Structure 1
Amino acid sequence: MLTSFGYASNDGIVVEPGIMSTRDYRDGALKVRYVRFLINVKNTNGARWQLIVRDADLRPVESITSAAVPPNGSLWTRRIYTEGMVTFHFTSSDPNSRLEIPTTVVMPEDSKRPYYSIQTQPAKFMDLYKEASSEKRIAGDHIGMLSAIWGSASWCCSAVAVTEDLVLTNWHCGGNEKILGNESGVWSQAICDRTIIDFSWDQDGTDREFACMEVVDMDPAADFALLRVAPIHRLDTLRPAKLRSQGPGVGEELRLIHHPACRPKNVTDGCRVGAVNVRSWRGALSSDFQYPCDSENGSSGAPLLDKNDQVVGIHHLGFEKMEDGTCDRLNKGVALPAILGAMKPTIADRIRKNNPLR
């Protein structure tokens, strides 16, 4: 299951030289946190141009120029914190220049249709930057919130940096049959092009966002996808998490740093491992391990860390119904050695070279 997070509006906006405003994004039932736009460069004919994005008070939020986007290229704007109008101020050396905005993503304060894989109410999610120790906060550098869109659907997962430009998440975070129409479209290049990983989703007003450039490797059975990413707006690089060569052991206590229900970074402690080497979700691998740790849709793809903040696996499943109709009340992760073993050897070797396993 994927937690719906906001919505995508396919308005098909055409921006001509001059000043134009969008519609009002306020919704009485939905507290909007921010909006962002996908800018397509079309019909600029090699002209020099500048697009200034302004908020509801006409303050400049972002400036995009022809030097930043190649002809026929595209670029996501940064977060625009407004519940009202957004204004595009477009100037060009060619008065016939046009930009297209095929997609607008509206992000709310909270997700929709949460699932809740929790042991007790309230959930034992701890706000990483308000309640956790400094050591845990620093460990959160490696984890980002992945958000993707397709048509009018928008959803979120978690992801972890494993090299300076490679991010690991779940295969099922690339969409599902209900959204895409068929399974073959999961993590297609089209989905990658519409995916952003935000490593500062932490209730601040800044962004540290990376765009998916290509899907380097993936495997449905092991439920992983490895994405090559690049910073969207400035020179930036990821600080990869430490990886462990061994999977988790029975009784080992782990922690989960994640984005439950698309919330800012949270940590769940006390994830004591139960069974290991459990058959995976598709029965193809004995790669899963179980734990009674609170999670939520949006937690998928998040790393499970040992006491030394080394990644031992990634979370991918919540509670499931058993054959007798009862709920197992267990969450499941895929062990990191199984993920690396399912990767193409050259790619796994690159990860090991860039991030020696401990």
Structure 2
Amino acid sequence: MFPAEQFGRAYLVMPQSTMNLENVLGRNANFERLVNYNATDQLRILANPVGRLDLLMRSSNGMGVATCTASIISNRYILTNNHCTPGDHKSAKVEAAHLLMDFYDEGREEQVRKFDVVLPPVEHDRKLDYAIFEVKGDPSAVFGRVKLLPRDPEPGESLLIIHHPAGLPKHATRGGCRAAAPRAVRDTDILHRCDTLPGSSGSPILASNAGAVIGIHYAGSSFAGPGSYNFGKRLKAIAGHSPIITAILRDDAEIASRGSRERAAREARARAEREA
């Protein structure tokens, strides 16, 4: 964890024990700094609704700051991992939480937007490792929201992860980022080959061809090698448990259906005018 006095800052000074993580980012080409892309680039647009979740923690070791990644899913709610907020554990307690948006560059901290997160989560589940929090101030009005797609990846399907690895500015993982093969899912898990670090927990796993979230990353492999993979929770499984996500998906489907009907009506009117 970071020192407690850094809570509320965008650029967190890393403890000596985790300095090697920053070096890993610099050496690994699969971690792409999103600040290097134009704000109108499709990758930056997909990344807009993803932010860093900062948690002021109290434990037996004292106070500290932990970070995860979270996605805006509506005008009120964000989605992250349940294990980021140890409400099920007596050894630690979250005292306060912030959502930091637009943290792309350590040198431009003044551009970062901070939103208060309401505690405790409105929904959470330990097995599915998801938590939904209410956020004050409607960050979706500025940054939009991620598109949710409750389907499982195909084996070997190209994926994309947007995250704040090690609490650092926003990165994307694309190179080599794919669903595992020959098996891409297991029980409630997505098995993936996307590079992540501590701080990546809660980050959205997107299907590259759809630009939509199909899961949330929650853990890395305990070993490295050709047969290793990381783990995410299937959005399809979460949607089957979450009333909030079910309602969001239903509203999105109704909006899409209404748009299709309106488009069909416009096309019918245009044909009628041409034939008149």
**CA gap 1:160/1:35 in 2 versus in 1, 3 angstroms:** closer
Equivalent runs, 1:86-97 vs 2, <5 Å? none
Equivalent runs, 1:116-127 vs 2, <5 Å? 122=28, 124-127=30-33
Structure number with the higher helix fraction is: 2
Q: Is the 8 A contact 1:157 1:262 kept in 2?
A: yes
1:227 aligns to what? 133
1:267 aligns to what? 172
Distance between the aligned counterparts of 1:225 and 1:294, measured in 2? 23
Q: Once the 2 structures are TM-superposed, how far is the Cα of residue 143 of structure 1 from its aligned partner?
A: 0.3
Q: Is the 8 A contact 1:111 1:261 kept in 2?
A: no
Sequence identity of aligned pairs in percent?
A: 26
TM-score normalised according to structure 2 size: 0.75
Could you list the per-position Cα deviations for residues 280-314 of structure 1 after superposition, in whole angstroms to 9, with x for gaps in the alignment? xxxxxx11121221100100101011223111111
The letter of the residue matching 1:181 is S
**CA gap 1:320/1:7 in 2 versus in 1, 3 angstroms:** same
Distance between the aligned counterparts of 1:235 and 1:255, measured in 2? 21
Residues paired across the two proteins, number: 239
Matched residue SS, 1:137: helix
1:302 aligns to what? 203
Could you list the per-position Cα deviations for residues 174-220 of structure 1 after superposition, in whole angstroms to 9, with x for gaps in the alignment? 03888x516xx5xxxxx2x6011111111232222221124110000
Structure number with the higher strand fraction is: 1
- Answer yes or no: is 1:145 the counterpart of 2:22: no
- Answer yes or no: is 1:312 the counterpart of 2:214: yes
Indicate which of 277, 294, 303 corresponds to 2:185.
277
Could you list the per-position Cα deviations for residues 309-334 of structure 1 after superposition, in whole angstroms to 9, with x for gaps in the alignment? 11111111111259xxx896311111
The letter of the residue matching 2:116 is A
1:168 aligns to what? 79
Could you list the per-position Cα deviations for residues 4-27 of structure 1 after superposition, in whole angstroms to 9, with x for gaps in the alignment? 2x2114xxxxxxxxxxxxxxxxxx
Indicate which of 164, 167, 181 corresponds to 2:91.
181
1:108 aligns to what? 12
Distance between the aligned counterparts of 2:148 and 2:234, measured in 1? 11
- The unaligned stretches of length 5 or more in structure 2 are 257-276
Matched residue SS, 2:104: coil
Distance between the aligned counterparts of 1:339 and 1:296, measured in 2? 23
2:190 aligns to what? 289
**CA gap 1:166/1:237 in 2 versus in 1, 3 angstroms:** farther
Indicate which of 341, 352, 357 corresponds to 2:240.
341
Q: Once the 2 structures are TM-superposed, how far is the Cα of residue 356 of structure 1 from its aligned partner?
A: 3.7
Matched residue SS, 2:136: strand
1:250 aligns to what? 155
1:199 aligns to what? 101
Q: Once the 2 structures are TM-superposed, how far is the Cα of residue 231 of structure 1 from its aligned partner?
A: 2.6
2:4 aligns to what? 8
Distance between the aligned counterparts of 1:235 and 1:276, measured in 2? 31
- Larger-gyration structure (1/2): 1
Matched residue SS, 1:243: coil
**CA gap 1:120/1:129 in 2 versus in 1, 3 angstroms:** closer
Distance between the aligned counterparts of 2:160 and 2:253, measured in 1? 21
Q: Once the 2 structures are TM-superposed, how far is the Cα of residue 353 of structure 1 from its aligned partner?
A: 3.5
